[in-house]
Amino acid sequence: MAALDDPLRRHIGDRSAKALAGALGLRTVGELLRHYPRRYVERGELTDLATLAVGEDVTVLAEVQSVLHRKNQSGRPGFRLEVTIGDGRGTLLLTFFNQAWRQRDLVKGRRALFAGKVSVFNGKRQLAHPDYELLDGLDDPATVAAGFIGALLPVYPVSGKLRSWTVHRCVRILLDTLDDLDDPLPAAVRARHSLPDLRAALIGIHRPATRADAGRAKLRLKWDEAFALQATLAQRRAAAGRLPATPRPGRADGLLAAFDARLPFALTGGQREVGELLAREIAADHPMHRLLQGEVGSGKTVVALRAMLAVVDAGGQAALLAPTEVLATQHLRSLRNLLGPLGCAGELGAADVATRVALITGSLGAAVRRQALADATAGQAGIVVGTHALLEEGVGFADLGLVVIDEQHRFGVEQRDALRAKGDRPPHVLVMTATPIPRTVAMTVYGDLETSTLTELPAGRATTQTYVVAQSRRRWMDGVWRRVRDEVAAGHQAFVVCPRIGDAAADEDATAAGEDADLDPPANGDATDGDPPARPPAAAVLEQLPRLMDGPLTGLRVAGLHGRLSAEDKDAVMRRFAAGEIDVLVATTVIEVGVDVPNATVMVVLDADRFGISQLHQLRGRVGRGSAAAWCLLVADAGETTPGWERLQAVAATTDGFELARADLGQRREGDVLGAAQSGRRSHVRLLSLLRDEDLIRSARDEASAVVAVDPDLTAHPALAAAIANMLDEDRAEYLEKA
């Protein structure tokens, strides 16, 4: 009998086990049985050949229509066999060179599964030397694939030379010998939601009698994925709740009260509500772990600053971690401007209750760095802003009470954990993102954090109109640069965003540094038959600067900004732009977050289809931050039926970040969203959709939380504990713990 943790070779032999391990990384019975069919075809149903794309690896069910034996062309020796297969709606050519013996198998009227890569020959789509599996009409019934008995034929995801029917044969062997299974989903949960047990679900998804059977099995197996993940997150929340923290209660006459009294604007209702919640949580004796998300320009920085000031009032310090020096420097400038005399303790004109705001980055001069480190270590700097340099061994704090992580998705888990470890006791943690997160992602990726959302924008903010511009239409492009010139003539400023820096070495260095990346590097080599032509290199700052200055933007004050510049040069450019000394800033995505220049009213994004939806929304947030109307012009050469063009239209259709986040999620793989890339392993989520299964995820969260509340270590649920250990490997568990 087969158990889930048995090695595959014990049941299917070394040859098949090696093939599955090499092509798919599957080594145990459980891993293979969790490799689910991609789709099903019915015995009487032929595949729609008209949907096949050139370059696609396919498995099709079709019928032989004709067979021709031809002499090779161009004087090449030998013969080729041309077999035409079809489904009544489309046809596909099969080509075999010097294999005339296949005529015995492939006779007119014969049905089979055919697998190979679609290419083009003489203007026709073909499969060259495809593998095939005959399904009926053979003289020798013993050679008919026993695995294809039944109403539905499963088609599995495969790669390389491995074929779907090989996977199915191996699965069939395992199902026939599968032992009784300990079910990780508690019986009470299964009963409440009318779910089959695990063994029945595995049989139902691999060997369904009807599509309804497959649907019931799939629902149950989605529950496995959601429940294991939510149980892990529930354990993390429970463990965090047991940690000790230093309470940071507020003061009626402290720094926060003085700051509120000098604010030149009224807080929004959302800012006040979230501020009161943060005040309660940092006053508690266990660490706050909260995610603060909000639309671009919704005022998260002010909310975070008020929480930092409350911690300083209680004798502690706060650290603000930013992903780039540009953003860290912008935060320093913004905090000092907001605080005024409250943020310059020890200087002439400082308020009595003032603190000091320090900056620690990798490019600071030796003397400035020594002073900043001394202020942080001695506790003189109540607020310390920095980049990854904050994580270095020589950086210390007198009493770190609050860690604020801005644009958290830019950091690895080890980096975030290193900063938290600098407190004598676990500090409170506030994670911020301006990328709106759908509720299902918040319940999974950030499921160990409580979530707050700012949706209300401050009064007086202008609207930003977004348009998609086809680069190939000269008149439209003339209109783009005319709009930029008109805005500058009206006293405003503009951004031009490019995907690349321009110099190959610069692009490579910036990518390694996490600053700017070539989002869509040019393809190498010439296009082959049937392949799309290689795209030209994406627009680059160093190339666009002279073209724009000598062309459509001649006479304007134009400057460049990118990650290759030194920190001093980047800061100097941003200061000049903020002061109105630069009309047009040509930049990479280094300006994606944190740059606040209210006078900027137009943004042109070149090769915009090479950016993702959320990134475009972030970039658009750099304009429209003042009272004047703003424009975002998305320029692309993508065809109007391509996914890239559809992304741009989605961004142009709405400024609702949460709606765009759902659209973005719909175009991404679940494993990408759940952080599989960060853990370095394949995600265990194969069936669950964060976009479509919101109700299921919410139910699984409630059920898992109830189980963990009674049994935190899952000692009474050993099958669930084992499933978590198997499905979430050590790297993945570490990611969830530290995220």
Residues 348 and 386 in one domain: yes
pLDDT top residue among 479 and 531: 479
Task: Quote the pLDDT of residue 705.
Answer: 94
Give the Cα separation of 156 and 165 in Å (integer).
8
Residue 199: is its pLDDT beyond 50?
yes
Give the Cα separation of 302 and 335 in Å (integer).
9
Residues 238 and 262 in one domain: no
- Domain span at residue 695 reads 217-243+676-738
How sure is the predictor about 144, in pLDDT bands with cuts at 50, 70 and 90? very low
Environment class of 490 (CB within 10 Å of its CB; exposed 0-12, middle 13-18, buried 19+): exposed
* CB atoms closer than 10 angstroms to residue 337: 10
Domain finish residue from 80, 104, 138: 138
* β-sheet bridge partners, residue 290: 430, 450
Residues 624 and 680 in one domain: no
pLDDT top residue among 24 and 443: 24
How sure is the predictor about 520, in pLDDT bands with cuts at 50, 70 and 90? very low
Asked if residue 214 lies in contact with residue 197, where contact means CB atoms within 8 angstroms, the answer is: no
Place of tokens 């986040």: 661
For residue 158, the Cα-to-chain-centroid distance in whole angstroms is: 24
Helices and strands (H and E) in the chain: how many: 26, 21
Give the Cα separation of 536 and 419 in Å (integer).
42
Residue 64: is its pLDDT beyond 50?
yes
Asked if residue 325 lies in contact with residue 570, where contact means CB atoms within 8 angstroms, the answer is: yes
Give the Cα separation of 498 and 500 in Å (integer).
6
Q: What percent of the chain has pLDDT over 70?
A: 83
Strand ranges, E, within 393-526? 400-406, 428-433, 450-454, 464-470, 493-497
DSSP string, 464-497: EEEEEEETT-HHHHHHHHHHHHHHHHTT-EEEEE
438 belongs to a structural domain? no
What number is the average pLDDT over the span 178-189?
93
Q: How crowded is the C-beta side of 319, counted as CA atoms within 13 Å?
A: 33
pLDDT digits (tens, 9 = 90+) for 376-406: 999 999 999 998 888 888 899 999 999 998 8
pLDDT top residue among 10 and 44: 10
Q: How many folded domains does the chain comprise?
A: 4
Averaged confidence pLDDT in the chain = 83
**3-state DSSP assignment of residue 665:** helix
Residues 511 and 595 in one domain: yes
Task: Quote the pLDDT of residue 32.
Answer: 95
Asked if residue 38 lies in contact with residue 56, where contact means CB atoms within 8 angstroms, the answer is: no
Residue 581: is its pLDDT beyond 90?
yes
Return the sign of the alpha-carbon dihedral for residues 604, 609, 611, 617. Answer: positive
Residue 665: is its pLDDT beyond 70?
no
Q: Which two tokens stand for residue 393?
A: 């061994």
pLDDT top residue among 415 and 631: 631
Residues 588 and 523 in one domain: yes
Residue 39: is its pLDDT beyond 90?
no
659 belongs to a structural domain? no
How sure is the predictor about 304, in pLDDT bands with cuts at 50, 70 and 90? very high
pLDDT top residue among 613 and 355: 355
Asked if residue 372 lies in contact with residue 360, where contact means CB atoms within 8 angstroms, the answer is: yes
Give the Cα separation of 426 and 247 in Å (integer).
11
pLDDT digits (tens, 9 = 90+) for 263-302: 888 898 999 999 999 999 999 999 998 888 887 777 888 9
Give the Cα separation of 430 and 425 in Å (integer).
16
Parallel, antiparallel or unpaired: strands 57-71 and 111-121 = antiparallel
pLDDT top residue among 65 and 664: 65
Residues 316 and 396 in one domain: yes
Residues 237 and 259 in one domain: no
Which of 169, 236, 240 has the alpha carbon at shortest distance from 207? 169
Give φ, ψ of 272 to 5 degrees. -65, -45
615 belongs to a structural domain? yes
* CB atoms closer than 10 angstroms to residue 550: 9
227 belongs to a structural domain? yes
Task: Quote the pLDDT of residue 682.
Answer: 46
Residues 649 and 708 in one domain: no
The lowest-confidence range among 151-160, 239-248, 416-425 is 416-425
Residues 543 and 471 in one domain: yes
Place of tokens 């079709």: 62
Task: Quote the pLDDT of residue 714.
Answer: 95
Task: Quote the pLDDT of residue 508.
Answer: 44
Domain finish residue from 385, 416, 433: 433
**3-state DSSP assignment of residue 91:** strand
What number is the average pLDDT over the span 494-501?
95
pLDDT digits (tens, 9 = 90+) for 532-545: 445 688 999 999 99
* β-sheet bridge partners, residue 117: 57
Q: Is 607 left (phi over 0), alpha (psi -120 to 50) or beta?
A: left
Distances (CA, A) of 394 to 360, 377, 387: 11, 10, 14
607 belongs to a structural domain? yes
Residues 633 and 687 in one domain: no
Residue 552: is its pLDDT beyond 60?
yes
For residue 502, the Cα-to-chain-centroid distance in whole angstroms is: 25
What number is the average pLDDT over the span 248-273?
91
Task: Quote the pLDDT of residue 555.
Answer: 95
How sure is the predictor about 98, in pLDDT bands with cuts at 50, 70 and 90? confident
The lowest-confidence range among 103-112, 281-290, 438-447, 656-665 is 438-447
* CB atoms closer than 10 angstroms to residue 681: 16
Task: Quote the pLDDT of residue 150.
Answer: 45
Give the Cα separation of 404 and 432 in Å (integer).
7
pLDDT digits (tens, 9 = 90+) for 322-371: 888 888 888 898 899 899 999 998 888 888 899 999 999 988 888 999 99
Task: Quote the pLDDT of residue 142.
Answer: 36
What CATH number has the domain bearing residue 366?
3.40.50.300
Domain finish residue from 86, 108, 138: 138
Q: What percent of the chain has pLDDT over 90?
A: 45
395 belongs to a structural domain? yes
What number is the average pLDDT over the span 715-732?
76
Which of 608, 604, 589, 599 has the alpha carbon at shortest distance from 651? 608
Place of tokens 């497959």: 214
